């Protein structure tokens, strides 16, 4: 029988492995990581719910932001749940993003996810990402919109 600690270690390794699959752009290999009942939740992306909808995001990101690199900054787990602080670095090198043509501008953002596993597969991801930072770095929004000293204006 697998202990909670070994289960947690296996789930954290699976999350790291998924980041490497994303970095390679091996989107067919991604499918093996996900449970058929997968759900995704992110207040910034209410359009991405099930696996088919969610999968479109990393595929589009890979094509639009080359080179693009995902990594895990810090992670912990307990049983079937993993908490991960992650990072993505990319360059807007192809296609449009938020109405802007490829600009060559780079971004470097972090996001936090809670990843839940069932039967050894990812069944749920809840994420919060630095979307504002990404928009500012790519020129979608003016940096003046960042809430620096927001209450002292």
Instruction: Kindly report, residue by residue over 73-98, the tens digit of the pLDDT.
Output: 999 999 999 999 999 999 999 999 99
Tell me how many domains the chain contains.
Answer: 1
Q: How far apart are CA 98 and CA 103, in angstroms?
A: 12
Residue 152 inside a domain? The answer is no
Query: Is there a domain that residue 138 lies in?
Result: yes
For the chain, the C-alpha Rg in angstroms (whole number) is 17
Domain that residue 58 falls in? 4-142
The residue-averaged pLDDT of 61-74 equals 95
* 15: CATH: 3.10.450.50
Q: Is residue 81 domain-resident?
A: yes
Q: Is residue 63 part of a domain?
A: yes
147 located within any domain = no
Greater confidence (37 vs 5) lies with 37
What confidence score (pLDDT) does residue 131 get?
93
On whether residue 108 sits in a domain, the answer given is yes
Residue 148 lies in a domain: no
Mean pLDDT of the chain: 93
Residue-wise pLDDT for 32-44, tens only, equals 999 999 999 999 9
Q: Compute the 3-state secondary structure of the chain and give helix, strand, coil in percent, each to the nearest 5.
A: 35, 35, 30
For tokens 């996001």, the residue is 111
């Amino acid at each position: 029988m697998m202990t909670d600690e070994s289960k947690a270690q296996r789930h954290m390794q699976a999350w790291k492995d998924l980041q490497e699959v994303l970095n390679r752009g091996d989107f067919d290999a991604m499918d093996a990581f996900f449970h058929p009942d997968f759900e995704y939740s992110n207040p910034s992306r209410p359009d991405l719910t099930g696996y088919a909808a969610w999968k479109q995001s990393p595929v589009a990101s890979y094509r639009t932001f080359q080179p693009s690199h995902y990594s895990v900054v810090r992670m912990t787990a307990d049983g079937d749940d993993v908490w991960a602080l992650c990072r993505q670095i990319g360059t807007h090198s192809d296609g449009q993003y938020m109405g802007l043509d490829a600009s060559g501008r780079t971004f470097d953002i972090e996001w936090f996810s809670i990843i839940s596993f069932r039967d050894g597969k990812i069944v749920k991801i809840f994420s919060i990402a630095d979307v504002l930072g990404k928009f500012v770095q790519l020129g979608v929004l003016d940096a003046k919109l960042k809430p620096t000293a927001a209450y002292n204006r």
